[in-house]
Structures are given as C-alpha cells and as structure tokens.
C-alpha cells in the first residue's frame, strides 16, 4: 500500500473537488491511501486585485510550492485558475470529466438579467464577465466582488448588489442549484478557458503518480480544454484577459467558440471554428491566428 497527500485550497468548493478526486482515486486504487490537506493561497487575500497582483496563478502558487517541496503529492485545481505555463518540475497529469461549463446569474427575487434596469448593480471579479456585461447591457453598473461563493451570494441577499455572475459548476458542486436564477447562453456569454474542469497536477518526475492519475483522466474533456488553453496561450497566456473560449465536441468534431473584448466591452471579437478531434492545440492556434488577422492586437494593447 502507498500513501499520497492531496493538496488543495481551503475553500469549501476546493475541498469538495479534492474529496471528489479522492473518491475517484480510491475507487481505482483501493489498496492505496489518499489524504487531503488544505492550504491558504495568495489569491485568497480579498484585498488583492488579481489583475494587478499577478493573475489567477496566485490561487495555486502555494500549492505548487508545497508540491515541489514534497509536502503534497497531488494538487487539485479548478483548471480555469491554472496559467498555461507551469513552474519547472510541475506537470498537469489529468483532467477529470468536465462539469457544467456555463455561467449563471443569481439575483434578488429571481430577476432575469434581461429585467435589470439601467444603473442596477451586478457583481463579478472576472474581467471577462465584466466586459461581457458591459457589452450586452451597457447601462448596468458592474461591481468588483471577491471572495468565495458564499460571500458573493451573501452580497446579493444583503442587497449590496442586484445579482452576481458565477460559474455554474461551483454552485452545483456545493448543492446550491435552487438559488440559480438563470443559466447564461454559452454561445453568447462564452465561458473562461477550462471553466467547469478539474485538473490534477503532480511532479514531473513522479511516473508512478502520473500513471495513477491517468486512470481518472477523461479524454474528451482533455481534448476540449487543451484547445481552449492553446487559444489562451496564443493570445498572450494571461488569465486576466477579457477572453473566453469554449470547445464543444459533437459528432467527432470540435467546435471552438472564442471571445475577446476591450475591458470596457466596447470592442468585441467573437468567432467559431470547427476542426477534427485529435488536434486540439491546432484548433486553438487557428482561432488565435484569425483573431490576430482581424485586429486583435489593438484590443490586447488596451488590456495591458
């Protein structure tokens, strides 16, 4: 019997995801022992503005440090929080079967987004969601809100904002589906690259662990998110860009929907490209090339 330590953030959602991964691993490797420890990361500091402090990679920095020091053996992350470039010695070993990819609105009195009047407040910490809201509903006041899911929802219940936009996957994983007002159409409100996916990171040298993690890897989910992350990398590899990418797989084809906007939502680019399964990175790079040919560089310069 071998024993392994799983590292994750201390939030309730991160713990749920780690426990889910623990269950999957124990089901595949019943003779091994998998335990979980929670760590506080730099990104958990609500006073930080992620875009100014270094991006979403701050949510996993301490976890990767613990991995490299061998304090933990496996890290469980929300893939959308993982930069495309990893520290030397770290490797993404598996993508768990992807969950719900859409964003959701949670609002007072179940008011739909189309019913929000000019000047009403909607909360989000995401530059992508901010730009999408400003593009589609320019009269709204978009408020920056940090914190865990419970904290953000409490700001709606307390009347601080009229609604918040969150990842559906997190809300569903915490069993809070009853408070969802509406699911936002992903063809219009394109999600973040990797949204809804859980990834497992290990040390590059640990072939034994990589083998065990590969057993719970979902190939279709991996194909989809690899194309989204290839697009992100080609556009500048910055998790704080107002950028969306969602790959849906249908009938042996990959369909990559992409979004890029200026921070104020006034200059928007959207595109959809189809390619065969098996070459996800090629599809992501192809869409990025089309964006660049259509003037994306000018928008990216506004995001610096």
- Residue 120: the pLDDT is 95
Kindly state whether residue 150 falls inside one of the protein's structural domains.
Answer: yes
Q: Do residues 138 and 247 share a domain?
A: no
Over residues 74-101, the mean pLDDT reads: 95
Torsion on CA atoms 17, 20, 24, 27, rounded to nearest 10: 160
Kindly state whether residue 189 falls inside one of the protein's structural domains.
Answer: no
- Residue 44: the pLDDT is 54
Active site residue 81: yes
Q: Do residues 279 and 246 share a domain?
A: yes
Q: Do residues 64 and 209 share a domain?
A: yes
The partner residues of 46 in beta bridges, in order of sequence, read none
Kindly state whether residue 13 falls inside one of the protein's structural domains.
Answer: yes
Show the CA angle centred on residue 14, arms to residues 11 and 19, nearest 5°: 120
Q: Do residues 168 and 298 share a domain?
A: no
| Residue 114, CA distances (Å) to 105, 107, 124, 128, 286 in order | 11, 12, 17, 19, 34
Q: Do residues 93 and 208 share a domain?
A: yes
List the strands of the sheet with 103-107, edge to edge. 141-144, 121-124, 163-167, 103-107, 182-183
Structural domains in the chain (count):
3
Cα 104 to Cα 178: distance, rounded to the nearest angstrom: 12
Q: Do residues 54 and 201 share a domain?
A: yes
CATH number at residue 266: 3.30.160.40
Tens of pLDDT, residue by residue over 172-222, are: 999 999 999 999 999 999 999 999 999 999 999 999 999 999 999 999 999
Q: Do residues 118 and 168 share a domain?
A: yes
Q: Which among 218, 235, 229, 220 is positioned nearest to 191, based on CA atoms?
A: 229
- Residue 1: the pLDDT is 80
- Residue 237: the pLDDT is 67
Kindly state whether residue 203 falls inside one of the protein's structural domains.
Answer: yes
Q: Do residues 20 and 92 share a domain?
A: yes
Tens of pLDDT, residue by residue over 237-272, are: 665 689 999 999 988 899 999 999 998 899 999 999
Q: Do residues 36 and 176 share a domain?
A: no
Cα 267 to Cα 201: distance, rounded to the nearest angstrom: 36
Residue of 31, 71, 73, 81 marked catalytic: 81
Cα 155 to Cα 283: distance, rounded to the nearest angstrom: 40
Kindly state whether residue 223 falls inside one of the protein's structural domains.
Answer: no
| Under 8 Å between Cβ of 80 and 197 | yes
CATH number at residue 115: 3.40.190.10
Q: What is the CA radius of gyration of the chain?
A: 19
| Residue 301, CA distances (Å) to 16, 242, 246 in order | 38, 12, 23
Q: Of the ranges 43-52, 66-75, 226-235, which one carries the lowest mean pLDDT score?
A: 43-52
Structure tokens at 54: 């270094």
Is pLDDT of 77 > 70? yes
Tens of pLDDT, residue by residue over 211-240, are: 999 999 999 999 999 999 999 999 986 656
The region, left, alpha or beta by phi > 0 then psi within -120 to 50, assigned to residue 239 is alpha
Q: Which of these three, 128, 159, 183, is where a domain ends?
A: 183
Is pLDDT of 303 > 60? yes
- Residue 45: the pLDDT is 47
| Residue 224, CA distances (Å) to 154, 221, 230 in order | 33, 5, 10
Q: Of the ranges 25-29, 105-109, 237-241, which one carries the lowest mean pLDDT score?
A: 237-241
Tens of pLDDT, residue by residue over 109-148, are: 999 999 999 999 999 989 999 999 999 999 999 999 988 8
- Residue 61: the pLDDT is 87
Q: Do residues 66 and 205 share a domain?
A: yes
Q: Of the ranges 11-15, 45-49, 265-269, which one carries the lowest mean pLDDT score?
A: 45-49
Residue 132: Cβ-neighbour burial (10 angstroms; 0-12, 13-18, 19+):
buried
Range of the domain at 254: 229-302
- Residue 25: the pLDDT is 98
Is pLDDT of 54 > 90? no
Kindly state whether residue 191 falls inside one of the protein's structural domains.
Answer: no
Over residues 89-106, the mean pLDDT reads: 97
Cα 295 to Cα 213: distance, rounded to the nearest angstrom: 41
Kindly state whether residue 73 falls inside one of the protein's structural domains.
Answer: yes
Q: Do residues 284 and 235 share a domain?
A: yes
Cα 118 to Cα 197: distance, rounded to the nearest angstrom: 34
Q: Which among 137, 164, 162, 129 is positioned nearest to 150, based on CA atoms?
A: 164
Helix H segments across the chain? 12-28, 50-53, 61-68, 127-136, 149-157, 168-173, 207-214, 219-234, 280-293, 296-302
Kindly state whether residue 224 falls inside one of the protein's structural domains.
Answer: no
Q: How confident is the model at residue 4 (pLDDT cuts 50, 70, 90)?
A: very high
Q: How confident is the model at residue 53 (pLDDT cuts 50, 70, 90)?
A: very low
Please indicate whether residue 206 or residue 59 has the higher confidence score (pLDDT). 206
User: Global pTM?
Assistant: 0.91
């Amino acid at each position: 019997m071998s024993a392994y330590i799983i590292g994750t953030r201390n939030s309730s959602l991160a713990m749920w995801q780690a426990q889910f991964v623990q269950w999957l691993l124990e089901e595949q490797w019943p003779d091994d022992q998998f335990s979980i420890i929670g760590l506080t990361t730099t990104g958990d500091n609500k006073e930080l503005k992620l875009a100014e402090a270094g991006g979403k990679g701050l949510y996993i920095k301490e976890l990767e440090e613990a991995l490299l020091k061998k304090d933990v053996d496996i890290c469980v992350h929300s893939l959308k929080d993982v930069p495309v470039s990893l520290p030397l010695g770290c490797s993404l070993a598996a993508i768990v079967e992807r969950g719900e990819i859409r964003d959701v609105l949670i609002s007072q009195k179940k008011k739909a987004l189309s019913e929000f009047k000019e000047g009403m407040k909607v909360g989000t910490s995401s530059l992508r969601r901010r730009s999408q809201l400003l593009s589609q509903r320019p009269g709204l006041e978009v408020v920056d809100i940090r914190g865990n899911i419970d904290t953000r929802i409490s700001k709606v219940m307390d009347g601080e904002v009229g609604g918040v936009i969150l990842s559906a996957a997190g809300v569903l994983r915490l069993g809070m589906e009853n408070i969802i007002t509406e699911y936002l159409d992903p063809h219009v409100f394109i999600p973040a690259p990797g949204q809804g996916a859980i990834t497992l990171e290990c040390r590059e040298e640990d072939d034994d662990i990589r083998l065990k993690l590969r057993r719970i890897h979902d190939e279709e989910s991996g194909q989809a998110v690899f194309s989204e992350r290839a697009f992100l990398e080609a556009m500048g590899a910055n998790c704080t860009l107002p950028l969306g990418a969602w790959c849906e797989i249908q009938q042996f084809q990959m369909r990559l929907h992409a979004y890029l906007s200026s921070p104020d939502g006034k200059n928007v680019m959207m595109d959809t490209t189809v390619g065969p399964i098996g070459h996800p990175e090629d599809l992501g790079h192809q869409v990025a090339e089309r964006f660049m040919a259509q003037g994306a560089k000018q928008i990216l310069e506004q995001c610096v």
